[in-house]
Structure 1
Amino acid sequence: MLDVRKTAILGAVVQEYIATAQPVGSTHISSAPNINVSSATVRHEMAMLESEGYLIQPHTSAGRIPTDKGYRFFVDNLATPGTLDHATTRHVGDFFSAAHGRLEELLHQTSNLLADLTHSAAVVVGPKAEAAPIRSVQIVRLSSTFATVVVVLANGSVENTTIELTDDDDDICVDAACAHLAAGLIGVALGALSEVTPTGDQAVDRICSVALTELAIVGSGDFVYTGGASEVARAFDAVEVVRSVLHTLEQQFVVVSLVSDIVGRGMSVSIGGEHGIEPLAACSLVVAPVMVEGEHLGSVGVLGPTRMNYPQALATVDVVSELLGHRIEEG
């Protein structure tokens, strides 16, 4: 554990580097609030912090910058969640009060809202479709050989899948299959689908069976939305870092696994190499669970460089996750 002086100096270095993105020198820190020692003393303490792994000196003549260990100490011991200003809080509240329509659109807009507020990439993982009860079922013929099955879920999301028809499947047959599915599926969770009771009509039963198989597939996926990719691009100077970060954000499975792992470990912040994903080694992720009626149904998070403004990011994801949970609960 660091003593009071080293703690104050490390905190000042982290805050200054977050604000300027420039290596921090001892002279500047000695004039910071609550640092009542000479620059020579600060220089000595910074050298000790470097030897203990909290700071590094990128160039011999440069100041120092925090390491992942330094950021971790800052987050765990010094960075309490900030408070959103009144205008931002009202803006977030107005956003969710005005949000209507499909769940997918709400989650997509929420990712853009988070990105705008934090100037970081935003990740929103919504509730799995399979957990939601079915509100309505429709089968719509697209052509003589294809139809689309559309289910509206109780959480406001809409799932659809395409099925293949045979030449013998006329409109009467399709309508009968639709009515039979609706009778057996409304109120049933999408992830709990099983075969409906056969009608005895071979064509109708075949359409129902194919529809159930395809719905089970689409219901097993996650709603994942990312926003603010341009913010990530501006946060790093190295083109290769930008390319690898953006490529990783495009891989939905990796994003969901990363967010789920952090939340599952009871963490709210993962810094640099802590999350074990090499392309994101220069990034931190701040996350918060989305709770609906006491159940964890999703997560929101922001991803940016390790020098991100942690207090603001923590405050923002907390407010957005809470209001998103309330909005989903209201349907």
Structure 2
Amino acid sequence: MLDERKANILRAVVEEYIETAQPVGSGHVTRAPGVNVSAATVRNDMALLEQEGYLYQPHTSAGRVPTEKGYRFFVDTLSAPGRLAGAEAQQVRNFFAHAHGELERMLQDTSRLLSNLTAYTAVVVGPPHEAATVRSIQLVSLTPTVALVVVVLSNGVIEKRTVEFDDEADEEALAAAGQRLCEVLVGHPLSHAAGVELEAPDAADPMLVAALRSLGEEAPEEPEVYLAGTSNMAAAFDAVGTVREILRILEQQFVVVSLLKDVLDRGLSVAIGSETGVQPLSDCAVVVAPYEVDGETAGSIGVLGPTRMNYPQAMAAVAVVSDRLGRRLSEG
């Protein structure tokens, strides 16, 4: 553990480097809160912090830059995750006050909100498909021989399937088939449709048979991933190769899902550099939080940025948005 003076000096270096992206010299640190010592003492302590792996000096004549260990100390000793500024908090309130419609649209819009709040790349992982159960089903006529099956799932997802019939179907027959679909599927995962065995007279109902066949088609195994602000990576890193590698990782949906899940499984809300477990993200940090629907974890949200990200502000944004998203989805 660092003594109070060294801890204050390290925090001052991290905060200044986050703000300026320039190596931090002792002159600035002497003016930081809690550092009431001479420049010579600051230089000596900064040299000790470098020896202990919290800082490094990119050039002999330059100031110091935080290491991964330095950022980790900074994050672990934050007294609170920070608070959103008044305008940002109002932006979140306004967004969720007017958020409505299909889950996919809401999650995509939420990723844009989070990216706008932080100026980093935002990730929202949707609920897993197998965890949701059918809440309601409707059969809607499009033409005399074509109908739309609309399924509302417990996680807010709306599934739609178009089914065709050989013979024309009237509204009364469609309503009856829809009622039978509700009776056999409500409360079950959508995949249950593939295993439903119909008996007479249901087995002879072409609308019911066609709808079950369509709903029983294999659903994607991985939850959907919604990204926003990937262009922010270009502004965060000078090296084109680094940006290219990060964007390549973000294109691989299963890697993104695994990354956020692994960070949360390790009991972390912030993963820095090598802690992400993904080599191309060694210069990045991830701030992540789960969101809950009706008391159950439904998915996760996070931001990805450079290791010199503004951790207090990013942690505050992720915490507030994950909480409001979960509450909005629980309200239906």
**TM superposition score category, shorter chain reference:** 0.7 to 0.9
Q: Distance in 1 between matches of 2:228 and 2:319?
A: 17
Asked if the contact 1:79–1:311 (Cα under 8 Å) also holds between the matched residues in 2, the reply is: no
1:204: how far off?
Answer: 6.5
2:219 is the alignment partner of 1:217: yes
**Distance 1:78-1:206 versus aligned 2 partners, 3 A rule:** closer
Partner residue in 2 for 1:283: 284
Q: Distance in 2 between matches of 1:98 and 1:239?
A: 39
Aligned residues: 325
Partner residue in 2 for 1:310: 311
**Distance 1:204-1:102 versus aligned 2 partners, 3 A rule:** closer
1:205: how far off?
Answer: 7.8
Asked if the contact 2:96–2:328 (Cα under 8 Å) also holds between the matched residues in 1, the reply is: yes
Asked if the contact 2:137–2:181 (Cα under 8 Å) also holds between the matched residues in 1, the reply is: no
Letter in 2 for 1:316: A
Asked if the contact 2:133–2:153 (Cα under 8 Å) also holds between the matched residues in 1, the reply is: yes
1:202: how far off?
Answer: 9.3
User: Within 5 Å, which residues of 2 pair with 1:199-214?
Assistant: 199-201=202-204, 207=210, 210-214=213-217
User: Within 5 Å, which residues of 2 pair with 1:1-331?
Assistant: 1-78=1-78, 80-130=80-130, 131-138=132-139, 150-160=150-160, 169-172=166-169, 180-198=180-198, 199-201=202-204, 207=210, 210-214=213-217, 216-218=218-220, 220-331=221-332
- 1:229 aligns to what SS in structure 2? coil
Q: Distance in 2 between matches of 1:205 and 1:136?
A: 12
- 2:124 aligns to what SS in structure 1? strand
Q: Distance in 2 between matches of 1:60 and 1:180?
A: 77
- 1:285 aligns to what SS in structure 2? strand
Asked if the contact 2:194–2:213 (Cα under 8 Å) also holds between the matched residues in 1, the reply is: no
- 1:136 aligns to what SS in structure 2? strand
Letter in 2 for 1:287: V
Comparing 78-87 with 182-191, greater Cα deviation is found at 182-191
Q: Distance in 2 between matches of 1:95 and 1:322?
A: 13
Asked if the contact 2:111–2:227 (Cα under 8 Å) also holds between the matched residues in 1, the reply is: yes
Asked if the contact 1:133–1:187 (Cα under 8 Å) also holds between the matched residues in 2, the reply is: yes
Letter in 1 for 2:186: I
C-alpha distance after superposition, 1:188-221 (max 9, x if no partner):
332554522323439678645632431x424x43
Alpha-carbon RMSD across the aligned residues, in angstroms, is: 2.8
**Distance 1:171-1:66 versus aligned 2 partners, 3 A rule:** farther
Q: Distance in 1 between matches of 2:129 and 2:159?
A: 8
Alignment TM-score, normalising by the size of structure 2: 0.87
Q: Distance in 2 between matches of 1:161 and 1:282?
A: 43
Letter in 2 for 1:107: L
Letter in 2 for 1:255: V
Asked if the contact 1:273–1:281 (Cα under 8 Å) also holds between the matched residues in 2, the reply is: yes
Runs of 4+ in 1 over 6 A off after TM superposition: 139-142, 176-179, 202-206
Q: Give unpaired runs (5+ residues) of structure 1.
A: none
**Distance 1:97-1:208 versus aligned 2 partners, 3 A rule:** closer
Q: Give unpaired runs (5+ residues) of structure 2.
A: none
1:21: how far off?
Answer: 0.3
Q: Distance in 1 between matches of 2:291 and 2:48?
A: 41
